[in-house]
Structure 1
Amino acid sequence: MIKYILGFIIVLAILIVAITVGANNDQIITFNYIVAESQFQLSTLVAILFGFGLILGWFITGFFYLKLKLKNISLHRQIKRQNLQISELTSVREKTKAD
């Protein structure tokens, strides 16, 4: 439940920032990139770059989260195997003591 409330607050904050930036910046600027150049309103350019940065950040975060999740799964498997080995060794040890 807290995750949904936090997500809603983040989306609301992004919308408020986008509306504020868009309302105050209506100048036309020339944006030069490697291949060509275009003219944009400053608010449009800021919104595009902000959105691109947000998406890129989510992809990078998602990549590292997935990497850690997979490492966690492999470590849990390793723990299970080691616990099985320990239980097998202790049972063999108890059998040898009983004899």
Structure 2
Amino acid sequence: MIKYILGFIILLAVILVAITVGANNDQVISFNYIIAKSEIQLSTLVAILFGLGLILGWFITGFFYLKLKLKNMSLARQVKRQTLQINELTTSRDKAAQ
């Protein structure tokens, strides 16, 4: 529950920052990119670039999180398999000792 509240507070803070930036920058600038050139408001450009950076950051973070999660699952399977092997060896040793 706290995770959702914290996420909502962060989302609210991002929206508040975007509104504050957008309200103060109404200047029109010329933005050149690889394909073409556009006349766009500075606040719109900042919001777009901020949003793209946020999305890119979430994708990169998600990729590394997924990678770690898969590695954790693999290691958990390996530990389980080794535990079973140890149990088999100790029971066979105990039977041989009797």
TM bin, normalised by shorter chain, reads over 0.9
2:68 matched residue in structure 1: 68
SS in 1 for 2:30: strand
SS in 2 for 1:40: strand
1:34 matched residue in structure 2: 34
Aligned residues: 98
1:23-60 CA-partner distances (Å, limit 9, x unpaired): 00000000011121101100000000000000000000
2:80 matched residue in structure 1: 80
2:16 matched residue in structure 1: 16
1:49 matched residue in structure 2: 49
Compute the RMSD of aligned alpha carbons: 0.5
1:4 matched residue in structure 2: 4
1:48-92 CA-partner distances (Å, limit 9, x unpaired): 000000000000000000000000000000000000000000000
TM-score w.r.t. the length of structure 1 is 0.97
Q: Percent identity?
A: 78
- Structure 1 gap ranges (5+): none
TM-score w.r.t. the length of structure 2 is 0.98
- Structure 2 gap ranges (5+): none
